[in-house]
Structure 1
Amino acid sequence: MIITGTQNTKKHGGRPTVAEARRLTRAVTVKFSKKDYEILKVRSKKANKHMAEYIRDSTLNPDVAQKPLEAVTKDYRMLVGMANNLNQLTKMAHQEGIIYLYVPLNSLLGDISHIVREYKQDADKKRKR
């Protein structure tokens, strides 16, 4: 049996449909002064978002996350490097025995613990505000 017509044909390719709950169907017009617009523009770039997305997020959630500071990025990179070192030391411990790597492992774990402790203290201070 051959079926013809468009009844059973599927649409292939293209962008997937958005769920009804997430579909943006309403528009709101808001006017800003030049100064406020520039401030908004800078903030949206810092948050690494389009301006409309930033306005939507900041309206519905006042704690819009901004791009991390340079110091935080530096600490993050340092932690990533330490994690890499830890993985390498773990591999060496499996190959050569853990007794030979006790001192460097202990030092590295101490550094990581110190950084994690500092972040926890900073997070506790921010929660208390």
Structure 2
Amino acid sequence: MLQPGKLTDDEYKVMKTHSEKGYRLASLLPEISCISRKILTHHERWDGLGYPLGLQKYEIHILSRIVYVVDSFECYSKGRSIQEAIGEFKRCSGSQFDPQIVRVFTQIILKRNLDFFHK
């Protein structure tokens, strides 16, 4: 459920547990247990300020870095044009997000004109 405005500290703590819950669930399922750690780390930041482990740069598996960018795109594009959302991604490139993934992802979005997020 999307909530307008900022989360309280308690709400943010609860929200941050979803990576660990996803990890535990995936670990129990043999069909997807091989990606359980990628699920756990999909909110790690390029600069090391993410959660839950505080990994940075190439300590974070590439699949986790990709999922973080793709997952964040919907939030960044809410109420913004594609160009504005891409501008925000570029601003956070190198801190929050892997700059190479941002570059490739934004090229794909622009090339395909993926405006379906605004419908």
Q: TM-score range by the shorter chain?
A: under 0.3
Which of 1 and 2 has higher RCO (CA within 8 Å, sep 6+)? 2
TM-score by length of structure 1 reads 0.25
Please say which structure displays the higher CA radius of gyration: 1
